[in-house]
């Protein structure tokens, strides 16, 4: 017999495995958020370890793996560079290319977080069926994976930054809080799509279309200042409906030009990040008790 006292001693640190549980049919809704968050935080190591293991299994840690992670977005940047140059009648230089890479690489981070997140719950299979833990760890771990895939593109960007002769200013540091907001935003997306994928297994096949449209609607291939006069009315609309307009726009502006974005951009970006995170994770948490019976 494990003595009751030894069990009780562990209890405070492990609320999740308390010695008395009653399971009843749950009515839709949320579990106690505070204890959920505590458990989530306590198991953050899992999200890190799962993402590390996945990166290792995908050979991301090898030289060629790293090279591919850089080469793939770089080639895409090259393709878009040519495309935009042809469409706009040429004349775009390294300055544009640097901005393009900054925006595109980070856009692919968001897209990767979303796609990995969508597959995260379904991919958890047996672990979900045989272990009780806060499921939100799965999409969050997917975001970490996407982040570590994005990281090697940072030095590449700086190569083009130098090449284009872009300025080095302390104002560039404003890109960091924007990056942070982008990560928070992506966590919400990953959770949302991770949960949706359980109900509609075709969610992930619909994502590429969404991503394509989203890319075109974001200031990555074009800049707000590029917009022809007859399109000027579109910018304010995109600014409100497209989260990445402010998030990516602010990030690239700070990183490439060393300009601190307008206060309004900060506010909109923050609102989107918080909204996405809150809605995505709450939706996920409200559904997650049902995941095991639907896998």
Partner 1 sequence: MSSLSGSKKSVPTPGITVRVENLSISYRTTFERVPTFKNAITRFGRGQRAVKEIKALKNVTFDVPDGTFLGIIGSNGAGKSTLMRSIAGILPPNEGRIEVNGRISPLLSLGVGFNANLSGRENITLGGLAAGLSRREVADRAEAVTEFAGIEEFIDAPMRTYSSGMYSRLAFSVAVHMDPDILMIDEALSAGDAAFKTKAAEKMQELRDNARAMFLVSHSMASITQLCNRAIWLHKGQLMMEGEPKEVIDKYNEFLKVGPSAVTLEDL
Q: Tokens representing 70?
A: 């850089």
With respect to partner 1, which residue has the nearer C-beta, 19 or 240? Answer: 19
Query: Least distance (Å) from partner 1 to the CB of residue 61?
Result: 13
Query: Least distance (Å) from partner 1 to the CB of residue 112?
Result: 19
With respect to partner 1, which residue has the nearer C-beta, 133 or 147? Answer: 133
With respect to partner 1, which residue has the nearer C-beta, 29 or 90? Answer: 29
Query: Least distance (Å) from partner 1 to the CB of residue 32?
Result: 6
Q: Tokens representing 120?
A: 């995260």
With respect to partner 1, which residue has the nearer C-beta, 31 or 258? Answer: 31
Query: Least distance (Å) from partner 1 to the CB of residue 179?
Result: 27
154 CB-near residues (< 8 Å, 6+ apart): 105
Q: Are the C-beta atoms of 84 and 221 separated by less than 8 Å?
A: yes
Query: Least distance (Å) from partner 1 to the CB of residue 294?
Result: 5
Among 235, 237, 137, 225, residue whose Cα is nearest residue 187: 137
Q: How far apart are CA 70 and CA 254, in angstroms?
A: 22
Q: How far apart are CA 210 and CA 146, in angstroms?
A: 18
User: What CA–CA distances, in Å, run from 119 to 5, 59, 167, 212, 244?
Assistant: 42, 19, 40, 19, 22
Query: Least distance (Å) from partner 1 to the CB of residue 107?
Result: 22
Stated length of the chain = 295
Sites of contact with partner 1 (CB under 8 A): 1-2, 7, 14, 16-26, 30-32, 35-36, 39, 42-43, 45-46, 49-50, 53, 56-57, 123-135, 137, 200-202, 205-206, 209, 288-290, 292-294
Burial of 128 (0-12, 13-18, 19+ CB in 10 A): buried
With respect to partner 1, which residue has the nearer C-beta, 15 or 226? Answer: 15
Q: How far apart are CA 124 and CA 136, in angstroms?
A: 11
Q: How far apart are CA 174 and CA 231, in angstroms?
A: 29
With respect to partner 1, which residue has the nearer C-beta, 109 or 140? Answer: 140
């Amino acid at each position: 017999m494990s003595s009751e006292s030894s069990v009780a001693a562990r209890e405070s640190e492990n609320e999740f495995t308390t010695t008395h549980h009653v399971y009843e049919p749950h009515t839709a809704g949320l579990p106690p958020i505070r204890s959920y968050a505590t458990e989530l935080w306590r198991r953050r190591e899992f999200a890190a370890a799962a993402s590390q293991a996945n990166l290792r299994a995908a050979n991301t840690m090898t030289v060629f793996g790293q090279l591919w992670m850089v080469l793939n977005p770089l080639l895409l940047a090259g393709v878009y560079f040519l495309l935009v140059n042809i469409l706009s009648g040429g004349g775009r230089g390294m300055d544009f290319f640097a901005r393009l890479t900054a925006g595109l690489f980070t856009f692919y981070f968001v897209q990767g977080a979303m796609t990995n997140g969508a597959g995260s719950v379904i991919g958890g299979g047996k672990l979900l069926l045989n272990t009780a833990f806060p499921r939100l760890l799965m999409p969050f771990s997917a975001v970490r994976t996407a982040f570590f895939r994005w990281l090697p593109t940072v030095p590449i960007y700086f190569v083009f930054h130098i090449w284009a002769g872009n300025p080095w200013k302390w104002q560039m540091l404003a890109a960091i809080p924007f990056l942070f907001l982008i990560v928070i935003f992506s966590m919400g997306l990953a959770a949302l799509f991770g949960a949706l994928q359980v109900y509609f297994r075709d969610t992930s096949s619909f994502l590429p279309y969404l991503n394509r449209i989203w890319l075109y609607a974001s200031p990555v291939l074009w800049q707000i200042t590029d917009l022809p006069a007859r399109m000027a009315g579109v910018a304010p609309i995109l600014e409100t409906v497209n989260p990445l307009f402010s998030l990516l726009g602010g990030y690239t502006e700070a990183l490439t030009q060393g300009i601190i974005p307008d206060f309004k951009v900060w506010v909109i970006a923050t609102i989107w990040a918080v909204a996405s995170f809150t809605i995505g994770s709450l939706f996920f948490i409200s559904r997650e008790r049902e995941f095991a019976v639907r896998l």
